[in-house]
Amino acid sequence: MMNVVELFAIAVGLSMDAFAAAVCNGLGMKKFVWSQALLCALFFGFFQALMPLLGYLLGSSFAEFIAPYDHWVAFALLAIIGGKMIWDAFHPDKNENPQKQRGALLSLLIMAVATSIDAFAVGVTFPTLLTIPLYVALLIIGCTTFVLSFFGVYIGKLFGTRYQKPSEIFGGCVLVLLAIRILIEGLLA
């Protein structure tokens, strides 16, 4: 049976991918913008809480269907975004146009979904292991990820300011490596 302390440890573990992706988002910032950091944290926290809920609701039958492919989906999404970050570092766009802002939101959405896929599997276990109310578990997971992601953006911004281009390249590489790690773990499972 899972208590609050164990659930918090799981929440921290689940949020590490989101934290790494948030650091990568911060690396690309020219200056720290609270609204962007909060939006990033909100996306990651929301999807990290949503996926266990979906796992809980859909149960193990759907998990068996998606499990053979979840690591491929996360790999593809994170590798594409990481590759785009590397590309953008070498091909900077001087214009901040609305289309680029929409692209940034889409990238953020894709990263939030990709980094939270593993939380789906955790949600599948909730009916048999959870000893606290479901909403409390989801709040713990979502809030933990929110806080860690916000600080991830801030930490990324600190390093990104000094080393803009190398930071963007590094951030892209981190996402690609994260994608590869997820794929390898999925293939070995």
**Residue 62's pLDDT is what?**
64
- pLDDT confidence tier of residue 24, bands split at 50, 70 and 90: confident
Q: What pLDDT, in 10s, does the model give residues 113-141?
A: 988 887 887 888 787 778 889 999 999 99
**Residue 69's pLDDT is what?**
76
Report whether 13 contacts 20 (CB < 8 A).
no
Report whether 81 contacts 12 (CB < 8 A).
no
Please identify which residue in the block is written with the tokens 């955790």: 122
In the predicted model, what is the mean pLDDT of the chain? 82
Furthest CA-CA distance within the chain: 54
Q: Rounded to an integer, what distance in angstroms lies between the CA atom of residue 63 and that of residue 65? A: 5
Cβ count near 185 (within 10 Å): 12
Q: Rounded to an integer, what distance in angstroms lies between the CA atom of residue 81 and that of residue 107? A: 7
Report whether 52 contacts 138 (CB < 8 A).
yes
Q: Rounded to an integer, what distance in angstroms lies between the CA atom of residue 123 and that of residue 138? A: 9
Hey, CA dihedral for 63, 186, 141, 34, is it positive or negative? negative
Please identify which residue in the block is written with the tokens 């996926």: 51
pTM: 0.76
- The amino acid occupying position 180 is I
Q: What pLDDT, in 10s, does the model give residues 80-115?
A: 777 877 887 787 665 555 555 666 788 899 889 988
Quick one: tokens of 174?
Answer: 């981190």
DSSP-derived secondary structure for 60-129: HHHHHHHHHHHHHHHHHHHHHHHHHHHHHHHS------HHHHHHHHHHHHHHHHHHHHHHHHHHHHHHHH
**Residue 163's pLDDT is what?**
67
**Residue 182's pLDDT is what?**
79
Q: What pLDDT, in 10s, does the model give residues 139-175?
A: 999 999 999 999 999 998 888 766 667 767 777 787 7
Q: What pLDDT, in 10s, does the model give residues 27-50?
A: 878 888 899 999 999 999 999 999
Q: Is the pLDDT of residue 59 over 60?
A: yes
